[in-house]
Amino acid sequence: MRQWSVLGEGPLHAARQMGLLFALGAALTLVKTVMVPAGQRPLFLGLTVLQASAAAAGWSPLWARLHPRAPLVLTAPAFVVLAASIAAAAGTAAGAAPFFVLVFVWVGLHFPARAALAVTPMALLAYLGPMIAAGRPAQVIISAVLFIPTLFAVAVVVARQVDHHRRDRAALRRARDEIAQAERWRAALTSTLAHDVRSPLTAVQFALETLHDDDGDLPVAQRRKFTEAALRQTARIRRLAVSLLDADRVDEHGRLRLDLQPVPLRAAIDAALTYLTHPVTVAMDGDMKICADPARLEQILINLITNALRHGDPPVVISAAPAPGGQVAICVRDHGPGVPEDKQQVLFSRFSSADTAPESVGLGLWITRELARAHGGDVVYSPADPGACFTVTLPADPPPLSRADDAGWPAPSAPRR
């Protein structure tokens, strides 16, 4: 039933409401047709047909495709009908005056104040023309002249009040959207923490179990290696917990707050690889800097590399090159079977079914994309021959400010101490 509702905003609902006014006018005119002298009946029948046609036009679905102010054209047949009614009543406007009021209130409800100014000349002509033609006294003409400006004032007041309420509703919607986005990011950060601590916890557990089961057979250097690995992974867990559960990570607009700064990409890749035990090849000509949050960049790199090691075959190769729009494209490619075509559409969805590994919850690629987009970049998948290639684009240093501003990404903030 909502699709037939007359209540709402926009050209479709405005036209429907005017269509109802025409339908009401047609019904009243048809009743009056049987009450007037026979000589006037053709005129009233013609007015009935005109109003019925305008009512049908008001309910056309085409209004939804037209300009928001297109329904204002319906005031033309309305004023024609009102002028004819005044003329039929020998210049008396008592019966037509309420409909003039309704037309101006309708204009105020659906259009800006200047729209009332646009229809006022037609209303003045429709109201005064028949009176002057009928030879009404001067005092009647003068009072009529005052009536139309009053209607214009009413329409302006209604339009301004409606605009005020629209702005209030828009502000409430923005606030609601920001709250929802903030809650979405907080939930995402909690999910990220739960996802990203799994691998370092597994490494810590393996190191501790190895040391616990050792009966003194391990050399000191080997024991130190296990201890250093456990400490490194523990530091990573601590850093993840502190940064992701920080309430200030989500700003007042519901966006992820990033500590953006110039980051040497090769050094960031090398640092991420220290948390992994499998060999990975880095194929980069020289070095380049990107504008990123170092902690979030580490998450992006580790997620993509871990994904390649888990689902692909060696060698896993990381490469980087400048990309259009002041971006840097970082490619992580494996040489495995690639992603089946039927799974590619859900690769980056939350709790993705594309990841069928028993230990996976389908969050890694979703987290990676969310973090990349928070920076003003993105992550895409493309099949390789053989294997899979995931490419993350991030802003180069300095970042492309025009893109960040246009897309609504958070502006670079100074690192928090």
**For 93-131, what is each residue's pLDDT tens digit?**
888 889 999 999 999 999 999 999 999 999 999 998 888
Q: Could you tell me how far CA 250 lies from the centroid of its own chain?
A: 18
Residues 166 and 271 in one domain: no
Residues 310 and 168 in one domain: no
CA nearest to 90, candidates 34, 131, 146, 46:
131
Domain assignment present for residue 85? The answer is yes
pTM beyond 0.75: no
Separation CA 55–CA 122 (nearest Å): 20
- At position 240, the amino acid (one-letter code) is L
Residue 262, strand partner residues: 291
**Strand order in 327-333's β-sheet?**
281-283, 317-323, 327-333, 388-395, 378-383
Please give the average per-residue pLDDT across 146-168, as a whole number.
90
Residue ranges making up the domain that contains 266: 260-407
Supply the pLDDT for residue 254: 54
Domain assignment present for residue 283? The answer is yes
If one counts the domains in the chain, the total is: 3
Q: Are 412 and 395 contacting, i.e. CB atoms less than 8 angstroms apart?
A: no
pLDDT category at 410 given cuts 50, 70, 90 is very low
Residues 279 and 241 in one domain: no
Please give the average per-residue pLDDT across 67-90, as a whole number.
91
Place of tokens 């828009």: 170
Torsion sign, CA atoms 365, 369, 374, 376: positive
Rg (CA), the chain: 35
Strand, coil or helix: what is 168? helix
- At position 108, the amino acid (one-letter code) is G
Supply the pLDDT for residue 160: 92
Between 39 and 328, the more confident residue is 328
- Judge if the upstream peptide bond of residue 399 is cis by omega within 30 degrees of 0: no
Residues 287 and 392 in one domain: yes
pLDDT at 264 over 60: yes
Residues 276 and 401 in one domain: yes
Domain assignment present for residue 189? The answer is no
Domain assignment present for residue 251? The answer is no
pLDDT at 145 over 80: no
